[in-house]
Amino acid sequence: MGEKTAKLLSILKLQPVVPVLIVEDAKSAVPLARALVAGGLKAIEITLRTAGALDAIRAVAEEVEGAEVGAGTILNVSQWDAAVEAGSKFIVSPGTTQELLDAARSSHVPLLPGAATASEVMALREEGYTVLKFFPAEQAGGAAYLKALSSPLAGTIFCPTGGISLKNAHDYLSLPNVVCIGGSWVAPKELVAAGDWAGITKLAAEAAALKG
């Protein structure tokens, strides 16, 4: 196992659920991340889908003790460089391009690349990747699809993300080829807007207690 793969796995194995966050206001990032860490969710993915995402990553990286912050929705090299410069400990992409693979190869930060088909998984395995994001999980076939991949593509481990909630989390976590799942339900927009950090800590603790 490569050093970067080991580093990535050590982050993903911290908890059963990695919060996938769309942070509209960078000011809320620090109390939000602290609330998640307090509930037991230390690995946190902040997606680059908002103007304040990089500021949010930087603030969490600098100010939140115990947090392992990563950047999601990375689509190109300029985003990769900006996310790493902001302090991201890991990078997540919804799919994969040669450009991103090249950036990952020359970086010290591990990549969790997205794949949705057997062919994409095989191509990434040829590049040396054995830990992948399965995205969009529910829309691409769900837990049943991922289970079907476990035998022919043995040795590949997934973090499924997309359409996963408390309701179907166990379906994924019970699979032998799933290391953790990504979910946004632990930080609902209305609780973030209301500054209900105790409510988010409660949801995080509930997620942290999930078992396969």
SS3 content of the chain, % helix, strand, coil (to 5): 45, 15, 40
Q: Is 45 a catalytic residue?
A: yes
| Active-site hit among 4, 42, 89, 133 | 133
For Cα atoms 104, 107, 109, give the angle at the middle one, nearest 5 degrees.
Answer: 85
Q: Is 158 helix (H, G, I), strand (E, B) or coil?
A: strand
Please give the single-letter amino acid code of residue 45. Answer: E
- The identity of residue 84, as a single letter, is V
* 138 among known catalytic residues: no
What is the SS3 assignment for 113? coil
What one-letter code names the amino acid at 80?
W
User: Given 4, 42, 45, 68, which residue is catalytic?
Assistant: 45
Q: Which two tokens stand for residue 97?
A: 């391009």
Active site (catalytic) residues: 45, 133
